Amino acid sequence: MKALILSGGKGTRLRPLTYTGAKQLVPVANKPILWYGIESLVAAGITDIGIIVSPETGPEIEAKTGKGDRFGANITYIPQASPDGLAHAVKIARPFLGDSPFVMYLGDNLIQDSLNDFVADFKKKPLGAIIMLKQVANPTAFGVAQIAADGSVTRLVEKPKDPPSNLALVGVYLFAPEIHQAIAQIQPSARGELEITDAIQQLIATHQTVEAKELSGWWLDTGKKDDLLEANRIILDEYITHPNILGDVDERSKISGRVVIGKGSRLTNCTVRGPVIIGENCVLDNCFVGSYTSIANGVSMSDIEIDHSVVLAGATISGIHRRIVDSLIGERAKLTVTEHRPKALRFMVGDDSSIELA
Protein backbone atom coordinates (compact mmCIF):
# COMPACT_ATOMS: atom_id res chain seq x y z
CA MET A 1 0.00 0.00 0.00
CA LYS A 2 1.14 3.53 -0.83
CA ALA A 3 0.20 6.94 0.52
CA LEU A 4 -0.55 10.28 -1.10
CA ILE A 5 -0.29 13.43 1.02
CA LEU A 6 -1.82 16.59 -0.42
CA SER A 7 0.41 19.52 0.42
CA GLY A 8 -0.32 21.98 -2.36
CA GLY A 9 -2.80 24.84 -2.37
CA LYS A 10 -2.25 28.49 -1.58
CA GLY A 11 -3.09 28.53 2.15
CA THR A 12 -5.16 31.71 1.82
CA ARG A 13 -6.74 31.32 5.27
CA LEU A 14 -3.35 31.54 6.97
CA ARG A 15 -2.09 34.62 5.18
CA PRO A 16 0.13 36.58 5.68
CA LEU A 17 2.19 33.60 6.93
CA THR A 18 1.52 31.63 3.75
CA TYR A 19 2.54 34.41 1.40
CA THR A 20 6.10 33.30 2.15
CA GLY A 21 5.76 29.67 3.19
CA ALA A 22 3.71 26.49 3.00
CA LYS A 23 0.83 26.16 5.45
CA GLN A 24 1.73 22.48 5.95
CA LEU A 25 5.11 23.55 7.35
CA VAL A 26 3.67 25.84 10.00
CA PRO A 27 4.73 24.15 13.26
CA VAL A 28 2.44 22.71 15.91
CA ALA A 29 4.41 22.10 19.14
CA ASN A 30 7.53 22.98 17.11
CA LYS A 31 6.99 20.28 14.48
CA PRO A 32 5.62 20.97 10.97
CA ILE A 33 2.00 19.89 10.59
CA LEU A 34 2.93 17.82 7.54
CA TRP A 35 5.33 15.67 9.53
CA TYR A 36 2.62 14.40 11.88
CA GLY A 37 0.83 12.86 8.89
CA ILE A 38 4.03 11.28 7.57
CA GLU A 39 4.77 9.78 10.99
CA SER A 40 1.24 8.41 11.28
CA LEU A 41 1.52 6.71 7.88
CA VAL A 42 4.93 5.20 8.67
CA ALA A 43 3.61 3.93 12.01
CA ALA A 44 0.91 2.10 10.03
CA GLY A 45 3.57 0.42 7.88
CA ILE A 46 3.20 2.68 4.82
CA THR A 47 6.60 3.96 3.76
CA ASP A 48 6.18 4.67 0.02
CA ILE A 49 4.74 8.17 0.14
CA GLY A 50 3.98 10.70 -2.59
CA ILE A 51 3.50 14.35 -1.66
CA ILE A 52 1.55 16.68 -3.93
CA VAL A 53 3.19 20.13 -3.91
CA SER A 54 2.55 23.48 -5.57
CA PRO A 55 5.14 25.37 -7.64
CA GLU A 56 5.23 28.15 -5.03
CA THR A 57 5.93 26.10 -1.90
CA GLY A 58 7.12 22.74 -3.24
CA PRO A 59 10.85 23.55 -3.07
CA GLU A 60 10.54 24.65 0.58
CA ILE A 61 8.57 21.53 1.52
CA GLU A 62 11.11 19.28 -0.19
CA ALA A 63 14.07 21.11 1.35
CA LYS A 64 12.72 20.85 4.91
CA THR A 65 11.15 17.39 4.69
CA GLY A 66 13.73 15.66 2.54
CA LYS A 67 13.51 12.29 0.85
CA GLY A 68 12.07 10.55 3.89
CA ASP A 69 15.15 9.24 5.67
CA ARG A 70 14.31 10.90 8.98
CA PHE A 71 10.92 9.14 8.98
CA GLY A 72 11.98 5.76 7.64
CA ALA A 73 10.08 6.47 4.43
CA ASN A 74 10.71 6.98 0.73
CA ILE A 75 9.15 10.28 -0.39
CA THR A 76 8.36 11.24 -3.98
CA TYR A 77 7.36 14.84 -4.72
CA ILE A 78 4.62 15.36 -7.32
CA PRO A 79 4.07 18.92 -8.62
CA GLN A 80 0.51 20.16 -9.16
CA ALA A 81 0.55 23.24 -11.37
CA SER A 82 -2.73 24.60 -9.98
CA PRO A 83 -5.10 23.53 -7.18
CA ASP A 84 -7.75 21.88 -9.34
CA GLY A 85 -9.30 19.63 -6.70
CA LEU A 86 -8.48 16.61 -4.57
CA ALA A 87 -9.48 14.18 -7.30
CA HIS A 88 -7.23 16.04 -9.73
CA ALA A 89 -4.34 15.48 -7.32
CA VAL A 90 -5.03 11.74 -7.42
CA LYS A 91 -5.24 11.89 -11.21
CA ILE A 92 -1.81 13.48 -11.65
CA ALA A 93 -0.33 11.08 -9.08
CA ARG A 94 -1.39 8.01 -11.10
CA PRO A 95 2.16 7.33 -12.41
CA PHE A 96 3.35 7.17 -8.79
CA LEU A 97 0.36 5.24 -7.45
CA GLY A 98 0.10 2.72 -10.28
CA ASP A 99 -2.44 0.04 -9.38
CA SER A 100 -1.68 0.06 -5.66
CA PRO A 101 -4.29 0.75 -3.01
CA PHE A 102 -3.41 3.91 -1.13
CA VAL A 103 -4.16 6.24 1.75
CA MET A 104 -4.90 9.85 0.82
CA TYR A 105 -4.09 12.27 3.64
CA LEU A 106 -4.64 16.03 3.56
CA GLY A 107 -1.40 17.58 4.74
CA ASP A 108 -2.96 20.27 6.95
CA ASN A 109 -5.11 17.80 8.94
CA LEU A 110 -4.26 16.10 12.21
CA ILE A 111 -6.07 13.11 13.70
CA GLN A 112 -5.56 11.43 17.04
CA ASP A 113 -6.57 7.92 15.94
CA SER A 114 -3.90 5.52 14.75
CA LEU A 115 -4.20 4.46 11.11
CA ASN A 116 -3.19 0.87 11.86
CA ASP A 117 -6.67 -0.59 12.35
CA PHE A 118 -8.12 1.25 9.36
CA VAL A 119 -5.35 -0.02 7.07
CA ALA A 120 -5.65 -3.59 8.38
CA ASP A 121 -9.44 -3.54 7.90
CA PHE A 122 -9.12 -2.21 4.37
CA LYS A 123 -6.66 -4.92 3.38
CA LYS A 124 -8.90 -7.78 4.45
CA LYS A 125 -12.14 -6.56 2.81
CA PRO A 126 -13.12 -6.10 -0.86
CA LEU A 127 -13.74 -2.37 -0.55
CA GLY A 128 -13.65 0.48 -3.02
CA ALA A 129 -12.88 2.97 -0.28
CA ILE A 130 -12.94 3.75 3.40
CA ILE A 131 -13.84 7.29 4.38
CA MET A 132 -13.23 8.66 7.85
CA LEU A 133 -15.91 10.68 9.57
CA LYS A 134 -16.27 12.83 12.67
CA GLN A 135 -19.39 14.21 14.31
CA VAL A 136 -19.48 18.00 14.06
CA ALA A 137 -21.76 20.68 15.41
CA ASN A 138 -21.99 22.54 12.09
CA PRO A 139 -22.34 19.95 9.29
CA THR A 140 -23.43 22.59 6.76
CA ALA A 141 -19.78 23.70 6.62
CA PHE A 142 -18.44 20.28 5.54
CA GLY A 143 -18.86 17.41 3.17
CA VAL A 144 -21.35 15.13 4.93
CA ALA A 145 -22.01 11.39 4.59
CA GLN A 146 -25.28 9.50 4.73
CA ILE A 147 -24.71 6.05 6.22
CA ALA A 148 -26.74 2.84 5.85
CA ALA A 149 -27.45 0.50 8.77
CA ASP A 150 -24.60 -1.81 7.71
CA GLY A 151 -22.05 1.03 7.87
CA SER A 152 -21.77 1.53 4.12
CA VAL A 153 -21.98 4.99 2.60
CA THR A 154 -25.03 5.68 0.45
CA ARG A 155 -24.56 9.36 -0.34
CA LEU A 156 -22.11 12.25 0.04
CA VAL A 157 -23.25 15.85 0.07
CA GLU A 158 -20.91 18.85 -0.05
CA LYS A 159 -21.85 21.62 2.43
CA PRO A 160 -25.58 20.76 2.44
CA LYS A 161 -28.25 23.23 3.52
CA ASP A 162 -30.22 20.30 4.94
CA PRO A 163 -27.57 17.80 6.15
CA PRO A 164 -28.51 14.10 6.10
CA SER A 165 -26.28 13.59 9.17
CA ASN A 166 -23.76 15.39 11.36
CA LEU A 167 -20.93 13.18 10.12
CA ALA A 168 -18.31 15.28 8.35
CA LEU A 169 -15.66 13.87 6.03
CA VAL A 170 -12.22 13.97 7.61
CA GLY A 171 -9.23 14.58 5.36
CA VAL A 172 -8.07 10.94 5.39
CA TYR A 173 -9.26 8.32 2.88
CA LEU A 174 -8.30 4.78 1.83
CA PHE A 175 -8.81 3.89 -1.83
CA ALA A 176 -8.67 0.81 -4.03
CA PRO A 177 -7.21 1.40 -7.53
CA GLU A 178 -10.79 1.55 -8.88
CA ILE A 179 -10.85 5.19 -7.77
CA HIS A 180 -8.89 6.07 -10.92
CA GLN A 181 -11.72 4.81 -13.16
CA ALA A 182 -14.21 6.75 -11.04
CA ILE A 183 -12.20 9.96 -11.42
CA ALA A 184 -12.03 9.44 -15.18
CA GLN A 185 -15.84 9.49 -15.27
CA ILE A 186 -16.52 12.70 -13.36
CA GLN A 187 -16.58 16.30 -14.53
CA PRO A 188 -15.32 19.45 -12.82
CA SER A 189 -17.72 20.92 -10.29
CA ALA A 190 -19.25 24.40 -10.42
CA ARG A 191 -16.06 25.77 -8.89
CA GLY A 192 -13.98 24.20 -11.66
CA GLU A 193 -12.42 21.41 -9.59
CA LEU A 194 -12.45 17.63 -9.74
CA GLU A 195 -14.07 16.79 -6.39
CA ILE A 196 -13.09 13.67 -4.48
CA THR A 197 -16.67 13.51 -3.14
CA ASP A 198 -17.92 13.17 -6.73
CA ALA A 199 -15.41 10.38 -7.37
CA ILE A 200 -16.49 8.52 -4.23
CA GLN A 201 -20.13 8.96 -5.26
CA GLN A 202 -19.18 7.43 -8.63
CA LEU A 203 -17.73 4.41 -6.79
CA ILE A 204 -21.05 3.99 -5.02
CA ALA A 205 -22.96 4.35 -8.30
CA THR A 206 -20.87 1.54 -9.83
CA HIS A 207 -21.60 -0.75 -6.86
CA GLN A 208 -18.22 -0.44 -5.18
CA THR A 209 -18.56 -0.70 -1.42
CA VAL A 210 -17.58 2.47 0.40
CA GLU A 211 -17.33 1.96 4.13
CA ALA A 212 -17.40 4.67 6.79
CA LYS A 213 -15.29 4.72 9.93
CA GLU A 214 -16.05 7.22 12.66
CA LEU A 215 -13.01 8.59 14.47
CA SER A 216 -12.99 8.14 18.23
CA GLY A 217 -10.33 10.81 18.88
CA TRP A 218 -9.94 14.40 17.85
CA TRP A 219 -9.68 15.73 14.31
CA LEU A 220 -8.03 19.09 13.63
CA ASP A 221 -8.06 21.06 10.40
CA THR A 222 -5.31 23.66 10.85
CA GLY A 223 -6.26 25.93 7.97
CA LYS A 224 -7.04 28.99 10.13
CA LYS A 225 -5.17 30.77 12.91
CA ASP A 226 -7.54 29.81 15.72
CA ASP A 227 -7.64 26.20 14.49
CA LEU A 228 -3.86 26.08 14.50
CA LEU A 229 -3.68 27.48 18.02
CA GLU A 230 -6.20 24.87 19.16
CA ALA A 231 -4.11 22.15 17.49
CA ASN A 232 -1.05 23.48 19.29
CA ARG A 233 -2.90 23.35 22.60
CA ILE A 234 -4.08 19.77 22.11
CA ILE A 235 -0.73 18.48 20.85
CA LEU A 236 1.16 20.11 23.74
CA ASP A 237 -1.29 18.57 26.18
CA GLU A 238 -0.95 15.12 24.65
CA TYR A 239 2.73 14.86 23.75
CA ILE A 240 4.50 16.77 26.52
CA THR A 241 4.14 14.29 29.36
CA HIS A 242 7.03 15.42 31.58
CA PRO A 243 9.55 18.26 31.90
CA ASN A 244 12.74 18.11 29.83
CA ILE A 245 15.13 21.00 30.46
CA LEU A 246 18.18 20.84 28.18
CA GLY A 247 18.98 24.57 28.12
CA ASP A 248 20.33 26.86 30.85
CA VAL A 249 17.89 28.30 33.39
CA ASP A 250 19.15 30.73 36.05
CA GLU A 251 18.18 30.54 39.74
CA ARG A 252 15.75 33.48 39.47
CA SER A 253 13.62 31.68 36.89
CA LYS A 254 10.60 29.60 37.88
CA ILE A 255 9.66 26.62 35.71
CA SER A 256 6.48 24.76 36.59
CA GLY A 257 4.56 21.93 34.95
CA ARG A 258 5.42 20.15 31.72
CA VAL A 259 8.02 22.34 30.06
CA VAL A 260 10.51 21.40 27.34
CA ILE A 261 13.52 23.68 26.77
CA GLY A 262 15.92 22.86 23.94
CA LYS A 263 19.70 22.76 23.87
CA GLY A 264 21.53 26.07 23.75
CA SER A 265 18.59 28.09 25.05
CA ARG A 266 19.09 30.50 27.97
CA LEU A 267 16.41 31.75 30.34
CA THR A 268 17.09 34.60 32.78
CA ASN A 269 14.55 35.79 35.35
CA CYS A 270 11.68 34.05 33.54
CA THR A 271 8.49 32.33 34.65
CA VAL A 272 7.30 29.46 32.46
CA ARG A 273 4.09 27.52 33.13
CA GLY A 274 3.57 24.37 31.10
CA PRO A 275 2.66 22.80 28.92
CA VAL A 276 5.16 24.84 26.94
CA ILE A 277 7.85 23.99 24.43
CA ILE A 278 10.86 26.25 23.82
CA GLY A 279 13.20 25.30 20.99
CA GLU A 280 16.97 25.36 20.71
CA ASN A 281 19.22 28.45 20.91
CA CYS A 282 16.52 30.76 22.24
CA VAL A 283 17.25 33.70 24.55
CA LEU A 284 14.53 34.72 27.03
CA ASP A 285 15.10 37.51 29.55
CA ASN A 286 12.56 38.75 32.10
CA CYS A 287 9.64 36.97 30.41
CA PHE A 288 6.45 35.25 31.44
CA VAL A 289 5.53 32.32 29.17
CA GLY A 290 2.06 30.95 29.84
CA SER A 291 0.50 27.59 29.09
CA TYR A 292 0.01 26.28 25.56
CA THR A 293 2.79 28.34 24.03
CA SER A 294 5.27 27.00 21.47
CA ILE A 295 8.47 28.91 20.79
CA ALA A 296 10.59 27.70 17.87
CA ASN A 297 14.38 27.69 17.50
CA GLY A 298 16.43 30.87 17.63
CA VAL A 299 13.76 33.12 19.16
CA SER A 300 14.77 36.14 21.24
CA MET A 301 12.32 37.56 23.79
CA SER A 302 12.77 40.12 26.55
CA ASP A 303 10.44 41.98 28.92
CA ILE A 304 7.24 40.38 27.61
CA GLU A 305 4.34 38.20 28.70
CA ILE A 306 2.95 35.68 26.24
CA ASP A 307 0.26 33.07 26.55
CA HIS A 308 -1.51 30.52 24.27
CA SER A 309 0.56 31.48 21.23
CA VAL A 310 2.90 30.12 18.57
CA VAL A 311 6.17 31.92 17.79
CA LEU A 312 8.10 30.76 14.73
CA ALA A 313 11.86 30.50 14.28
CA GLY A 314 14.09 33.53 14.54
CA ALA A 315 11.43 35.95 15.79
CA THR A 316 12.33 38.81 18.14
CA ILE A 317 9.84 40.22 20.67
CA SER A 318 10.81 42.80 23.24
CA GLY A 319 9.52 45.52 25.52
CA ILE A 320 5.78 44.88 25.12
CA HIS A 321 4.36 45.46 28.58
CA ARG A 322 0.90 44.01 27.96
CA ARG A 323 0.32 40.31 27.60
CA ILE A 324 0.37 38.82 24.09
CA VAL A 325 -2.36 36.18 23.77
CA ASP A 326 -3.87 33.95 21.05
CA SER A 327 -1.16 35.00 18.60
CA LEU A 328 0.71 33.44 15.69
CA ILE A 329 4.01 35.20 14.95
CA GLY A 330 5.97 34.38 11.83
CA GLU A 331 9.61 33.55 11.20
CA ARG A 332 12.09 36.37 11.80
CA ALA A 333 9.28 38.79 12.70
CA LYS A 334 10.24 41.66 15.03
CA LEU A 335 7.82 43.09 17.60
CA THR A 336 9.02 46.01 19.71
CA VAL A 337 7.38 48.80 21.68
CA THR A 338 8.52 52.30 22.61
CA GLU A 339 5.92 53.15 25.27
CA HIS A 340 3.24 51.41 27.31
CA ARG A 341 -0.10 50.59 25.69
CA PRO A 342 -3.20 49.14 27.35
CA LYS A 343 -4.75 45.69 27.67
CA ALA A 344 -3.94 42.42 25.85
CA LEU A 345 -2.64 42.23 22.30
CA ARG A 346 -3.53 39.74 19.54
CA PHE A 347 -1.32 39.22 16.49
CA MET A 348 -1.07 37.22 13.31
CA VAL A 349 2.29 38.29 11.94
CA GLY A 350 3.87 36.97 8.76
CA ASP A 351 7.49 36.04 8.12
CA ASP A 352 10.04 38.88 8.03
CA SER A 353 7.52 41.41 9.42
CA SER A 354 8.53 44.24 11.75
CA ILE A 355 6.01 45.80 14.17
CA GLU A 356 6.70 48.68 16.53
CA LEU A 357 4.02 49.73 19.00
CA ALA A 358 4.56 53.42 19.73
Same domain, 163 and 211: yes
Strand partners, 293: 276
**Quick check: 17 pLDDT over 60?**
no
**Quick check: 331 pLDDT over 50?**
yes
Of 50-59, 213-222, 336-345, least confident by mean pLDDT is 336-345
Same domain, 79 and 172: yes
Q: Is 66 helix (H, G, I), strand (E, B) or coil?
A: coil
Percent of the chain with pLDDT over 70: 90
Radius of gyration, CA atoms only, the chain = 22
Q: Is 132 exposed, middle or buried (0-12, 13-18, 19+ CB in 10 A)?
A: buried
Q: Is 323 exposed, middle or buried (0-12, 13-18, 19+ CB in 10 A)?
A: middle
Q: Report the CATH number that the domain containing residue 51 is assigned in CATH.
A: 3.90.550.10
Q: What is the pLDDT of residue 341?
A: 57
CB atoms within 10 A of CB 98: 11
Q: What is the pLDDT of residue 343?
A: 63
**Quick check: 60 pLDDT over 50?**
yes
Q: What is the pLDDT of residue 11?
A: 45
Q: Report the CATH number that the domain containing residue 262 is assigned in CATH.
A: 2.160.10.10
Same domain, 48 and 143: yes
Quick one: which H or E segment has residue 167? strand 167-175
Domain boundary, last residue among 214, 236, 258: 236
Same domain, 149 and 282: no
**Quick check: 15 pLDDT over 50?**
no
**pLDDT mean across residues, the chain:** 89
Q: What is the pLDDT of residue 12?
A: 46
The answer to whether the CB of 63 falls within 8 A of the CB of 51 is no
Question: How does residue 14 score in pLDDT terms, banded at 50, 70 and 90?
Answer: very low
Cα distances (Å, whole numbers) of residue 152 to 119, 142, 178, 197, 214: 17, 19, 17, 15, 12
Same domain, 283 and 228: no
Same domain, 249 and 263: yes
Same domain, 224 and 127: yes
Q: What is the pLDDT of residue 82?
A: 87
Q: Which range marks the domain in which residue 350 is found? A: 240-357
Same domain, 244 and 232: no
Same domain, 218 and 304: no
CA angle (143, 149, 155) in 5-degree steps: 30
Same domain, 216 and 347: no
CB atoms within 10 A of CB 316: 18
Domain boundary, last residue among 196, 215, 236: 236
Same domain, 128 and 155: yes
Q: What is the pLDDT of residue 279?
A: 97
Same domain, 229 and 97: yes
Number of domains in the chain: 2
Read off the pLDDT of residues 97-144 as tens digits, 9 standing for 90 and up: 999 999 999 998 899 999 999 999 999 989 999 999 999 988 888 889
Q: What is the pLDDT of residue 149?
A: 83
Of 356 and 246, more confident: 246
285 closest CA partner among 257, 252, 258 = 252
Read off the pLDDT of residues 228-246 as tens digits, 9 standing for 90 and up: 899 999 999 998 999 999 9
Cα distances (Å, whole numbers) of residue 165 to 79, 145, 160, 200, 269: 36, 7, 10, 17, 53
Domain boundary, last residue among 213, 236, 259: 236
